[in-house]
């Protein structure tokens, strides 16, 4: 799929663009288990519809939140999957054992996905409407199980940053959620440390 970035705003007020690298990784940005609950964006079914219309799924073929149908039960299932994948992805990034119960949640959810259809007149790709909450669940779960099998999940090297992403860089050495945020902070700190060392030597 095409590169797709989301604009995140952190509690300190800074906004920056972040490319999590895949659909399931993107879902992780919408909230998460435990202390990640402060980032929760999916409070009601229409929140998931709005989130989806701004996701990389819309990079394949555009649609609006009105094209999405989500029930309360589907929203709960998507959040359960997201939280399970948070624990799995973090364990992957840290080289820990993967929680078996959470893998069961991913494996049980891969049934449905949004259905691509081609417009006979324009020959452009669209999604069969409505896109359902069950299809969102399936798309995220399929992507998640592929990532578990394929690897490449990384945690940002920034201090106090828990963001996870798939490293799709050619060099395979992406370290930061975003150069705008953690990459720059690191550069500033490294520069200051060098400067302080030099100042120290001169005295
Ligand atoms: Zn970061």
Q: Is 78 helix (H, G, I), strand (E, B) or coil?
A: helix
- Ligand 1 centre from 178 Cα, in Å? 6
Which domains are present in the chain? 6-202 (1.10.3300.10)
78 alpha carbon – ligand 1 mean position (Å)? 25
Query: In whole angstroms, what is the distance from residue 10 CA to residue 129 CA?
Result: 33
With beta carbons less than 8 A apart as the criterion, state whether 87 and 150 touch: no
Q: Which of 106, 147, 108, 111 is nearest to 132 (CA)?
A: 111
Residue 3: pLDDT band by 50, 70, 90 thresholds? low
Closest CA relative to residue 52, chosen from 33, 29, 72: 29
| Strand partners of residue 6 | 18
pLDDT tens per residue across span 29-78: 999 999 999 999 999 999 999 999 999 999 888 899 999 999 999 999 99
Q: Cα of 54 to ligand 1 centre, how many Å?
A: 21
Q: Is residue 101's pLDDT more than 80?
A: yes
Mean pLDDT of the chain: 92
């Amino acid at each position: 799929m095409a590169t797709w970035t989301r604009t995140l705003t952190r509690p300190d007020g800074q906004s920056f663009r972040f490319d999590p690298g895949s659909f399931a990784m993107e879902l992780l940005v919408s909230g998460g288990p435990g202390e990640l609950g402060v980032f929760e964006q999916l409070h009601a079914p229409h929140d998931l519809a709005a989130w989806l219309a701004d996701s990389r799924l819309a990079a394949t073929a555009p649609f609006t939140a009105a094209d999405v149908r989500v029930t309360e039960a589907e929203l709960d299932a998507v959040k359960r999957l997201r939280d399970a994948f948070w624990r799995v992805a973090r364990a992957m990034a840290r080289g820990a054992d993967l929680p078996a119960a959470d893998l069961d949640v991913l494996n049980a959810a891969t049934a449905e996905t949004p259905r691509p259809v081609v417009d006979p007149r324009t020959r452009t790709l669209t999604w069969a409407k409505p896109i359902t909450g069950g299809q969102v669940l399936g798309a995220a779960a399929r992507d998640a199980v592929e990532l578990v099998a394929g690897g490449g999940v990384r945690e940002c090297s920034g201090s106090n940053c828990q963001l996870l992403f798939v490293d799709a860089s050619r060099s395979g050495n992406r370290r930061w959620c975003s150069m705008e945020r953690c990459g720059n902070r690191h550069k500033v700190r490294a520069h200051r440390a060098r400067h302080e060392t030099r100042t120290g030597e001169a005295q």
